[in-house]
Amino acid sequence: MNFSTSANLGDCLWCLQFLRRLGGHHAFYCKSEYMGQLRELMADTLVEIGDVNDRPPDSEDCWIANARFEQQGVRYGSTLNIIAFVQQYMNHLGGLAGTPAPVFTDPKQFLFELPRPNFRVPQFDVLVVNAQPTSGQVPEFDNAHLNDLIARLAIHYSVITTNPTTARNALTYDATILRIAELSCHCSLIIGVATGPIWATFNTRNASTPRHILLSPQWLDYGPTVPIANHANVNSVQAALERTGWL
């Protein structure tokens, strides 16, 4: 089948995880700037990645906020467990694809399975996914405060960020989605903004790694085996790190 979205990267990754579980040969059409990264991430599957401008007329729109399943009770709102909502949405999408049973029966099934890397990844202490929120999902986000927090952590730990930072002792990697996901498998703590580059850091190889996620008023819950602390702002993250001995 053909699937598509012209939405942002996070929506693309949720749909690709759906296609992983659906199995078989499918085509997924997205913004051209995402194509290379998503092909790398899905290299171990039969999913083809194309430009959304070339999507065929029969492609199924998989933007989670398109309201296509509202009559079945699937309603997107500002205050909700986002993973539970995406699970419900994708199961209805699976119904359109002809699956007689739910594609997802447990939120931890949204943990990505990663293709085997062909590059080396360093061991370090803290990964900070400091990409800017692109959909208003963290109204209290302050990049200057996050830079200050990164600087404090980098005094005591080896810290890698995914976007430039003013913190002098942190190392910034200009990495693809797959490489960010691989980095997340080689650290002891993950901090990040709930935006596109972070979703593949939730994967089957690092499910037990503690996470502090900036997202509000929505929240994330992958189940009890995936430790996540949800935060509305950087001050909340800092307080949690002080309580747990990281600062």
CA distance 217 to 55: 34
The answer to whether position 199 is within a domain reads yes
* Res. 117 pLDDT band, cuts 50 70 90: confident
How confident is the model over 45-72, as a mean pLDDT?
95
The answer to whether position 42 is within a domain reads yes
Three-state secondary structure call for residue 229: strand
Q: Are residues 38 and 84 in the same domain?
A: yes
Tokens at 77, concatenated:
């709102």
CA distance 190 to 210: 6
Burial of 21 (0-12, 13-18, 19+ CB in 10 A): middle
Phi and psi at 26, nearest 5°, equal: -140, 165
- The answer to whether 11 and 25 have CB atoms below 8 angstroms apart is no
The answer to whether position 117 is within a domain reads no
Count of the separate structural domains present in the chain: 2
* Res. 163 pLDDT band, cuts 50 70 90: very high
Phi and psi at 168, nearest 5°, equal: -70, -35
Q: Which CATH number does the domain housing residue 163 bear?
A: 3.40.50.2000
Using alpha carbons, list the distances in angstroms from residue 105 to 24, 81, 90.
19, 16, 11
pTM for the whole structure:
0.94
CA distance 184 to 198: 9
Q: Are residues 133 and 234 in the same domain?
A: yes
Three-state secondary structure call for residue 27: strand
Which pLDDT value is given to residue 113? 92
**Residue 14 in this model has a pLDDT that exceeds 90:** yes
Q: Are residues 102 and 132 in the same domain?
A: no
- The answer to whether 125 and 189 have CB atoms below 8 angstroms apart is yes
Residue numbers of the domain that contains 157: 126-243
Which pLDDT value is given to residue 178? 95
Q: Are residues 95 and 195 in the same domain?
A: no
Residues in the chain: 247
- The answer to whether 85 and 104 have CB atoms below 8 angstroms apart is no
Q: Are residues 93 and 151 in the same domain?
A: no
Q: Are residues 189 and 80 in the same domain?
A: no
Considering the chain, what percentage of its residues have pLDDT values greater than 90?
Answer: 87
